[in-house]
Chains A and B, each alone.
Chain A
Amino acid sequence: MTLELSHFSAAVLFSLFASVVFGITQRNTAREQLRYGMYCFVMFAGGVFVAGWVMWILRH
């Protein structure tokens, strides 16, 4: 079985799983873990958008 994801969907899945692990392992309380996990996800996903626009600007 072969899965062919777009670059964006692969990046979002990557962000989700990495953020869950970062949140759990890098903070102590449940609330802090949730907040940090969400922060990491936003930074990952936001980084994808920023990098995408930077590449678009460089190309044009």
Chain B
Amino acid sequence: MANSVKPAVAETPKPLATPASPSMSVIAPAIAWLIPGAGHLIQKRWIRGLLLMASITTMFILGLMMQGRVYLPNGGDILDILGFVGDVGAGGLYIVTRVQGWGHGAIAHATADYGTKFLIVAGLLNFISAADAYHIAIGKKP
């Protein structure tokens, strides 16, 4: 009696989405870092891009309005270094802030420390957003 067992076939995992062009995997995260949400917008994820742009930009601006401190490149205290890493994640927002000379912080305001945290977290959220734009570009995410 013939055994009707089918031969095992190695299945390759299907990608969740169609990958974009290889250059997009470089351009998308780069532009996402420079302009929050833009990495999604250039891949036609309009709603996601606009929500990310609005959230990260608003958070950064609120941080500045609360007289938060923007960290400069430094090699001193570890928390200052990490603060700079967080801030620089905001990309273009950080560059504009430095060029304009904003974000010196004001210890006279009790909310200034909240503002400093808002600035750092906006940058860190933008790193996550850039990573997400990269995942969309390589087809790992729809």
Contacts and interface: CB of A to CB of B under 8 A. Distances in A.
Nearest to B57: A17
B111 A14 contact: no
Q: Classify the interface of chain A: helix, strand, loop or mixed.
A: helix
B72 interface: no
A5 B52 CA distance: 23
Interface string A8-42: 00100110111011101100110001000000000
A45 to B, nearest CB: 16
Interface string B32-48: 00000000000000001
A36 to B, nearest CB: 13
Interface stretch (B5-13, B20-28, B127-135): B127-135
B16 interface: yes
Contacts of A16: 55
A20 B55 contact: yes
A24 B52 contact: yes
Interface in B90-142: 106, 109-111, 114, 117-118, 121-122, 125, 128-129, 131-132, 141-142
B114 A7 contact: yes
Contact of B67 (A2, A20, A21): A2
Nearest to A30: B47
Interface of A: 1-5, 7, 10, 13-14, 16-18, 20-22, 24-25, 28-29, 33
9 contacts: A2-B66, A13-B59, A14-B121, A17-B55, A17-B59, A20-B52, A24-B129, A25-B131, A33-B48
